[in-house]
Structure formats: C-alpha cells, structure tokens
C-alpha cells in the first residue's frame, strides 16, 4: 500500500552553520575519525561498527567492573551477535558520573510546585531500593514490575531494581487490569511497585486497585499525595515501610547480555511481544541522544512518557549517562500547566508525539510562555504532520525538530534527524549512526516507498524474546538483501524523498501507532469480540492527510444494528475497559464480509486502501 504523501515542500526550515556544526558532539566525532560531512560519518559508522561503538563507549564514559576483550565477537553472526565479550558491568554505575550536587531530575506533580533532585539524592534513593530488594531475598535476574507514572521515585525504583541485579518489568499505567495481568504473566514478575492512584487532568485513576483485582503479585505501594488513600492487602507494604536505612550499595555486576528491563511491544498476534533490554541497550539510547539530539552539559531533557514505554527508560539513560537532568511532569501534558513546566524547568530538549503537538496547536497551549531555552525538539511514536512541526518550531524561535524512528526492539532509532544537516519539517535526514536499512517493495526489490528492513548488527538490537522465537519474528522469510547482507524485519513503511530525506507512512504490517502507543490489530479485534451483535472485526490505522494515525474499525454484524453510533460507543467502551482508554475509534464501517486471502487471512491492507480511496 502507498499512503498519500503529505505536502511536497522539502525546503529546510532550519539550517546549521559551519560554526554550529563544529561545536556539536557530531562535529567532535567527525574530527576524531577524519571525515568532513555527516553522510561520510554515517558511512564510516556502518563500515566500521566496532570502531564506532568503541568511540561511543569511550565518549559516554561507560563504566566496567571487568573490561571487554573486544567490541564484537567475530565468531557470531548478524542474527545473534555477542557484544563486549568478557565484560562485567552494571549499567546503573554509568548513570552517576555527574557531580553529586548537579541536578538529575527537575519534577513537578500536577497542581504542585517545581522540585529538584540532585544526582547524589537520586543515587542515595536508588541505593536504598537496591539494598532493600537484596535484604528481602530478591536474587539477580528476578523480574520486578513497575506500574507507576513517571516520577522521581519511579526513576529511583527503576535504577534500584537494576542495581540489585534484577530486571524491571515496565507496564504503562494506562493499561487495564486484564492487559496488566498478561504482561505480569509473560514476564513472570515476582513483585510490583505501584501507586494508590495516578493523577491526570485533575482526576484520579486507580492503579493499586488493578493489582488487587488480579490478586497478584505482592505490591509496594506509593502515595500519589502525602499519604496512602486506601488500605493494603495482607502481604503488601507501603513505600515508607519498604525502604531500608540510607547508605551506599555496591552494584551487582552482570554479563552484558543479562536483562535489565522487559518491555512490551505489539506484534501481529493478540499477545504482546516481551522484549528484554540488556545491560548494553542503554548504551544505544545514550549514544543516540548524545550524537543525534546533541545532548551537552547543563541540558534538561523533557519528554512526556512512561516507564512502560521505551521512551521512559530511554529518557532515564539518555539524560543520566550524558550527565544532564531530565524534566518530569506528573500529570496531563496537554494543558497550559505543562507548558508552564517546560518554561520553568528551562527545558533545552522537548520530546513530543505528533498527536500531542496537534492538540497543543488547536488550543494554542504554549501561548504566553517562554520556551526560548529549548535548543531542539524531538518527535517519535507516530508519523509527523509537516505543518504541525513548523508550528512547533516557531514556539521556540525556529529551533529544529529531530524526527526519531525506531522501536523497543532497537533501544533507540534506525532512522532519525541530526543537527548537522538542514531540518525539513516532518522528514528524517539520516539513518542512525552504527545502523543502516534498506527499503523493499512487496516483491522484495529495492524501492523508494516500501517496507524498511534493518542491516544488523548494532548494540541495542534485541537478540531474544520471551515466549517467542526471535529468529522467526525478525529474520525468517526475509527477502534476500540487495547488499548481500543479513536483513532484519522491522515493519515501518518508509518513503525516500529527494535531497537525502525520508518520510514515514506508518506500519507496513498489522500493527499501528495510536497516540504514540504501538498496538496490534489483533489485540483490538480480540477485545471487540465481546461486543454483542458483532460477528467479526478488522482494525486498521489510516492517515488520510499525513500525520498521526486514526483508528478505523470494519465490522460484520449478525444483523443490522438499530443505531450505528450506539454500536461504536459499545466498542469504545470495550476498548476503554479491557485494553487502553487512550485508543479512540475514529470511524466505524459496517460491511457484509471482510476481504480474505485464499488462506482465509483478513486483508487489512485492502481495507486501508479502500478507506483511503473513499477519503
């Protein structure tokens, strides 16, 4: 399927000067390796992957208990590489190289005051969490979940779990109990940190109650406000009762391939993929931020997200390993209070999803606030609308937008932007350093508009899945490479544009991004099976005018519904209660039958083409 292209204006809205380029982190790297352009630098990074990652590790100051014998074991292959053989490390030790009195987290709760936590304070709280986990008998490798908003405490919990040698199970706080239970089961979580409630938009949303409904696992519960708002089950404990006394904790050293985080991403089946991040995945996140978002001393990174989505852990490592502060606003990022937080935190990088920018533009959310400290924006999770991104740039005096496209199984991006090349709104201007990709059509031939396939290996790329065959998901039946290299399936629909740019057109497979959240058609369709009168459904994502995707449901009913609006409302309620309230149905289309292949598979691509043609 070829989605209709957004406006064809490819004129840059921001262009770096030679003096600016010289002062960037990429400028340093160009001088170090002896090239004079970004395109030459990228070519060098994929032709010399060991050398690139060696320099990235050196530049970031990654700490090792035992050094690696070389960067990449030559006996492995691209489908299962062995990075940094013989090394021993705990990546959390690399998060605390900044001065103890430097700001690590600038945070604010909705309706509260701006507060600051230093690196020393964050490390102290991290150590208390780690020590308590070890004292309570949690062993290295134990899976411990977090179901919380992105707060200063949740960051310390996240780091403490990893420092104790355990693995975080990240669960977004927007999911309903059934989906939470699925993720806990897949990861075999033995405990969970949560809050009594989450506060967003002046409302309370229950979190601990979701754990109670599942009757598992044991919970450590934090108050959203000063004290807990409810009684706890037997076996659960309050946050203040959990914490050990202050004091240093020696991080548990681990193998590079040991898991630090289990995250979830939708595939083409009804059960989410459980993707382990290893001790090395944070290096990819931090290196991307260092070179592509150009993170430098005294920066403040703000990106509304959650520990259950990859951008939450990305933000933690991108900021702390780069020795700078993250800005966390615990509340709805769609209103003027968040815009004020961006101003008062002195954010220098503001991360967004395109649908959030569209909402800001409609309400003129930033009006009257000073965003002049922002050096750049970065956008991920959905296809960008060029006009919305031009509007966003204007809110900070014309600063560039770094488009950032990757995935949980990458630990960062494969296609991105860079401040060393002109910025065209809504377009990418470079593959990520150390990684390359090709675009193939449906016959497996090179194309200007088609499906993106990665050219591995790279630090950050997943090498295993829980409960699934990793090779089958990413490598089986992949077309032969035009460059005679192993290719890895990814699933994005990418278009090559004139002048060395690319544009994303959503997913080429049966997954979609809705509001920056990746979900499979099968997950939505499974939930809709419970709606009375519905025989079968097909969920698709469309973007008729470019930009964020819209959810469209095709449905076959046992009989014509009395009121189609009532049926759509019932479907929306089912999604809200059993999957995620953030997924909104844009349109419901009733049909007599769904188009199917000879093997009886639903042809969702044909439905997308049909809907776009009618639009």
Domains in the chain: boundaries: 512-614
Structure token pair of residue 547 = 């930009």
Instruction: Show the tokens assigned to 561.
Output: 């519904």
Residue 440: per-residue pLDDT: 94
Q: What is the DSSP letter of 596?
A: B
Using 50, 70 and 90 to split pLDDT, how confident is the model at 8? Answer: low
Of the pLDDT bands very low, low, confident and very high (cuts 50, 70, 90), residue 286 is very high
H or E, element range at 585 = strand 585-590
Q: What is the rounded distance in angstroms from the CA atom of residue 505 to the CA atom of residue 39?
A: 24
Does the pLDDT of residue 375 top 50, yes or no?
yes
* 1 has a pLDDT exceeding 50: no
Q: Which residue has the tokens 């296609």?
A: 415
Task: Please say if the pLDDT value at position 597 is more than 70.
Answer: no
Could you tell me which residues come within 8 angstroms of residue 461 by beta carbon, excluding any fewer than 6 positions away? Answer: 409, 410, 411, 435, 454, 488
Residue with the larger pLDDT of the pair 578 and 163: 163
Distance CA 187, CA 195 (A): 20
Selection from 134, 409, 95 nearest residue 261 by Cα = 409
Q: How confident is the model at residue 602 (pLDDT cuts 50, 70, 90)?
A: confident
Q: Which residues contact 333 (CB under 8 A, 6 or more apart)?
A: 304, 356
The predicted model gives 10-14 an average pLDDT of: 93
Token pair belonging to 559? 């009989």
In this predicted structure, the answer to whether residue 239 has a pLDDT above a threshold of 60 is yes
**What sections of 38-188 are H helices per DSSP?**
38-47, 49-60, 119-135, 152-163, 177-187
* DSSP letter for each residue of 250-276: ----B-TTSEEEEEEE--SSSS-EEEE
Whole-number pLDDT of residue 401: 98
Residue 347: per-residue pLDDT: 98
DSSP 365: T
Average pLDDT on 452-478 reads 95
Separation CA 527–CA 572 (nearest Å)? 10
Residue 269 binned pLDDT confidence (cut-offs 50, 70, 90): low
The predicted model gives 419-434 an average pLDDT of 97
What digits encode the pLDDT tens for the residues 128-156? 999 999 999 999 999 999 999 999 999 99
For residue 511, the model assigns a pLDDT of 77
Instruction: State the Cα–Cα distance between residues 528 and 332, nearest whole angstrom.
Output: 28
Distances in Å between the Cα of 132 and the Cα atoms of 137, 164, 222 are: 9, 9, 15
User: Per-residue confidence at 230, pLDDT binned at 50, 70, 90?
Assistant: confident
For residue 189, pLDDT over 90 is answered with yes
pLDDT at 322: 98
Helices 152-163 and 311-320: crossing angle in degrees, nearest 10, is: 80
Higher pLDDT, 292 or 230: 292
Among 29-38, 308-317, 446-455, 477-486, the range scoring the smallest mean pLDDT is 477-486
**What confidence tens digit (pLDDT) does each residue in 299-321 have?**
999 999 999 999 999 999 999 99
Average pLDDT, the chain: 92
What mean pLDDT do residues 516-540 have?
A: 86
Is the pLDDT at 3 greater than 60? The verdict is: no
Please give the structure tokens belonging to residue 113.
């005051």
Residue 226's pLDDT is what?
A: 83
Residues 6+ away with beta carbon under 8 Å from 245 = 128
With bands split at pLDDT 50, 70 and 90, how would you rate the model's confidence at 603? confident
Would you call 471 helix, strand, or coil by DSSP?
A: helix
For the cut 80, the answer to whether the pLDDT of residue 545 exceeds it is no
Average pLDDT over residues 37-58: 98
Would you state the pLDDT for residue 4? Answer: 37
The answer to whether domain 512-614 has CATH 3.30.70.260 is no
The DSSP code for 231 is P
CA of 147: how far to CAs of 133, 233, 519, 534, in Å?
17, 17, 19, 33
CA distance 433 to 499: 19
Using the 8-state DSSP alphabet, how is residue 166 labeled?
-
pLDDT tops 70 at residue 268? no
Region 406-416: mean pLDDT is 97
493 pLDDT above the threshold of 70: yes
CA 48 to chain centre: 27
Question: What is the dihedral angle through the alpha carbons of 497, 502, 505, 511, rounded to the nearest 10 degrees?
Answer: 150
pLDDT value, residue 499: 92
- Reported as a single tens digit per residue, the pLDDT across 72-116 is 999 889 999 999 999 999 999 999 999 999 999 999 999 899 999
d(CA 377, CA 373): 11
């Amino acid at each position: 399927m070829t989605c209709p292209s957004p406006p064809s204006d490819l004129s840059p809205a921001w262009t770096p000067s030679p003096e600016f380029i010289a002062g960037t982190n990429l400028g340093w790297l160009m001088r170090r390796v002896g090239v004079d352009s970004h395109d030459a630098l990228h070519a060098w990074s994929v032709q010399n992957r060991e050398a690139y990652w060696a320099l990235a590790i050196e530049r970031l100051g990654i700490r090792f208990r035992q050094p690696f014998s070389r960067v990449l074991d030559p006996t492995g292959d691209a489908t299962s590489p062995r990075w940094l053989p013989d090394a021993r490390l705990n990546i959390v030790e690399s998060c605390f190289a900044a001065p103890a009195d430097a700001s690590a987290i600038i945070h604010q709760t909705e309706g509260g005051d701006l507060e600051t936590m230093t690196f020393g304070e964050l490390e102290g709280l991290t150590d208390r969490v780690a020590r308590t986990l070890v004292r309570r008998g949690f062993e290295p490798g134990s899976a411990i979940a977090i179901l919380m908003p992105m707060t200063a405490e949740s960051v310390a919990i996240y780091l403490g779990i990893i420092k104790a040698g355990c693995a975080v199970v990240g669960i977004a706080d927007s999911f309903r109990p059934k989906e939470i239970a699925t993720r806990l089961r897949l990861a075999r979580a033995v405990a969970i940190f949560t809050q009594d409630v989450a506060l967003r938009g002046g409302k309370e949303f229950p979190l601990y109650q979701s754990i109670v409904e599942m009757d598992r696992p044991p919970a450590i519960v934090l108050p959203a406000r000063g004290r807990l708002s409810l009684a706890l089950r037997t076996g659960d404990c309050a946050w203040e009762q959990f914490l050990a006394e202050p004091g240093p904790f020696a991080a548990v050293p681990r193998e590079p391939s040991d898991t630090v985080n289990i995250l979830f991403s939708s595939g083409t089946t009804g059960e989410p993929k459980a993707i382990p991040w290893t001790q090395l995945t944070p290096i990819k996140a931090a290196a991307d931020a260092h070179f592509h978002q150009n993170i430098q001393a005294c920066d403040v990174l703000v990106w509304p997200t959650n520990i259950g989505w990859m951008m939450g852990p990305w933000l933690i490592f991108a900021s702390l390993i780069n020795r700078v502060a993250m800005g966390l606003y615990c509340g709805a990022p769609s209103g003027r209070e968040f815009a004020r937080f961006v101003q008062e935190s002195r954010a220098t990088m503001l991360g967004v999803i395109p649908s959030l920018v569209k909402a800001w533009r409609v309400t003129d959310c930033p009006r009257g606030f000073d965003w002049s400290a922002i050096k750049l924006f970065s956008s991920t999770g959905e296809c960008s609308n060029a006009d919305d991104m031009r509007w966003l740039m204007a809110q900070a005096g014309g600063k560039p937008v770094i488009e950032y496209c990757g995935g949980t199984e990458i630990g960062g991006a494969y296609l991105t932007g860079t401040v060393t090349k002109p910025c065209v709104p809504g377009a990418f201007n470079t593959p990520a350093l150390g990684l390359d990709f090709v675009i193939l059509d449906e016959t497996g031939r090179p194309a200007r508009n088609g499906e993106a396939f990665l050219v591995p290996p790279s630090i950050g790329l997943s090498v295993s899945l829980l409960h699934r065959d990793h090779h089958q998901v990413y490598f089986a039946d992949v077309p032969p490479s035009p460059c005679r290299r192993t290719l890895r399936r990814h699933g994005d629909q990418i278009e090559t544009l004139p002048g060395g740019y690319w544009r994303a057109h959503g997913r080429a497979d049966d997954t979609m991004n809705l509001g920056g959240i990746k979900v499979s058609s099968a997950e939505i369709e499974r939930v809709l099976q419970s709606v009375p009168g519905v025989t079968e459904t097909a969920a698709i994502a469309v973007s008729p005018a470019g930009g964020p995707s819209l959810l469209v449901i095709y449905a076959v009913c046992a009989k014509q519904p009395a009121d189609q609006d009532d049926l759509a409302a019932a479907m929306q309620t089912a999604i809200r209660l059993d999957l995620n309230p953030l997924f909104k149905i844009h349109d419901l289309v009733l049909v007599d039958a769904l188009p199917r292949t000879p093997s009886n598979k639903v042809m969702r691509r044909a439905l997308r083409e049909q809907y776009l043609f009618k639009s």
